[in-house]
Structure 1
Amino acid sequence: MTAMYIDTSANKGASLGKGVVALLLSAVLLACHAPADGQGTGAAATSPEDATAATASAPESPIGGTTVAEAEEDEDDLVPKRPDDSYRMANLRPEYDRCIEAADAVTPELLVCGQEELEYQEKRLEEAFARMLAMPDSEEKDALLDAQAAYMHDTNRHCAPHPEQDGQGQLLDALSCRINRVANRVEALQALELK
């Protein structure tokens, strides 16, 4: 049987629907190439175990593509995996909500709204950090500064935009991720100040 490969290296931003269509098309094409008599190396798999074994033994494409089964597994890679909800949710200003609503899903306007909110939240973070630095030297202050550095490192790692390879949706997602993380950190630092 002729193995069908899908090269996903150039299509990392492809939608789930396109992957499903490609998978179905591949299955139909594979079925068409199977010999009618079931003889030879191109015999169609007769059970799911046979299909899994055939897929597992399929060689990798010389041009860096993946088998159909691997492409199906990789479709989950299109959604960034983030450790917790602090990357996705935060209490943001009503002004931001109104700006997003007025942007009417126009990407450049959404980016402006996001940049304004990020600047606001970063200013709040700078103020909270300055108060942290003004604390007397102690082990508690050192631990707090270490925790702040780790938090921002994780934020930079999981919310980094890649403008040279990402589309508009991914750039908006990275901006939203950063806004949420900064806003959540400000709230956490303010809660510590109240103790």
Structure 2
Amino acid sequence: MRTATNIIAGKKKAFLWRVASAMACVIVPVDGYSQQQASSGFGKGADDATGIRPSYQKCLDASSGITVDANNCWVDEYDYQDKRLNTAYKALMAVLSKDKRAKLQADERIWIAYRDSHCVADPGLGQSGAVISQECKLTETAKQAAALEYRKYDEDMKR
């Protein structure tokens, strides 16, 4: 039987899991990685480590908080980041050994499941929940694209 105490405990556990998951995904500078290397290939035109373009923030600012306009900004940036992720994935797959390709493919499947579960909208937050979910999905996709771009750069440096 589900009691109020069990429901609250479950919500706390879910909240703590989300916090822990978010903390585990913080981008940490990697030894040997410099700003010069970043400007030489991955994250081009970006103003942060994830590669989210400055034009995204400009678009959001211009939307003046109008949800439809802000959503259009998100759609444009998400499409860009998704294409960037797919390009980075294909480029990395092209330089990896057969064993490493299989591992990358499995890792990407796990990452997609993580992103989709981590960024699920909280229905209790209404429209704000949807906006938070979209922003989460955008950020996670951009972070993964940056990670794959860096791995490709690292593989190229080993050659």
Give the TM-score, by structure 2 length: 0.65
Secondary structure of 1:104's partner? coil
Q: What is the Cα deviation at residue 144 of structure 1?
A: 1.6
Q: What is the Cα deviation at residue 81 of structure 1?
A: 2.4
C-alpha contact 2:92 2:151 (8 A) present in aligned 1 = no
Q: Which of residues 9, 15, 18 in structure 2 aligns to 1:81?
A: 18
Q: What is the Cα deviation at residue 166 of structure 1?
A: 5.6
Match of 1:168 in 2: 127
Q: What is the Cα deviation at residue 110 of structure 1?
A: 1.3
C-alpha contact 1:125 1:186 (8 A) present in aligned 2 = yes
Q: Which has the larger radius of gyration?
A: 1
The answer to whether residue 102 in structure 2 is matched with residue 142 in structure 1 is yes
- Cα gap change, 1:74/1:157 in structure 2, threshold over 3 Å: closer, same or farther? closer
C-alpha contact 1:92 1:183 (8 A) present in aligned 2 = yes
Identity, in percent, stands at 20
Match of 2:57 in 1: 97
Pairing of 1:10-21 with structure 2 (within 5 A):
none
C-alpha contact 2:120 2:133 (8 A) present in aligned 1 = yes
Give CA-to-partner distance per residue, 1:65-118, whole Å, 9 cap, x none: 948xx87x969978992412548x944101001011111111111111111110
Pairing of 1:1-195 with structure 2 (within 5 A):
66=4, 81-82=18-19, 83-85=21-23, 86=25, 90-135=50-95, 137-161=97-121, 167-195=126-154
C-alpha contact 1:91 1:183 (8 A) present in aligned 2 = yes
Secondary structure of 1:81's partner? helix
CA distance in 2, matches of 1:139, 1:65: 49
Which residue identity is paired with 1:111? N
Which residue identity is paired with 2:53? R
Q: What is the Cα deviation at residue 137 of structure 1?
A: 4.2
Give CA-to-partner distance per residue, 1:32-86, whole Å, 9 cap, x none: xxxxxxxxxxxxxxxxxxxxxxxxxxxx9xxx9948xx87x96997899241254
Give the TM-score, by structure 1 length: 0.54
CA distance in 2, matches of 1:146, 1:108: 36
5+ unaligned residues in a row in structure 2: which ranges?
A: 27-48, 155-159
Give CA-to-partner distance per residue, 1:123-142, whole Å, 9 cap, x none: 10111122233345422222
Match of 2:39 in 1: none
Q: What is the Cα deviation at residue 156 of structure 1?
A: 0.8
Which residue identity is paired with 1:159? C
C-alpha contact 1:107 1:168 (8 A) present in aligned 2 = no
Match of 2:41 in 1: none
Which residue identity is paired with 2:68? P
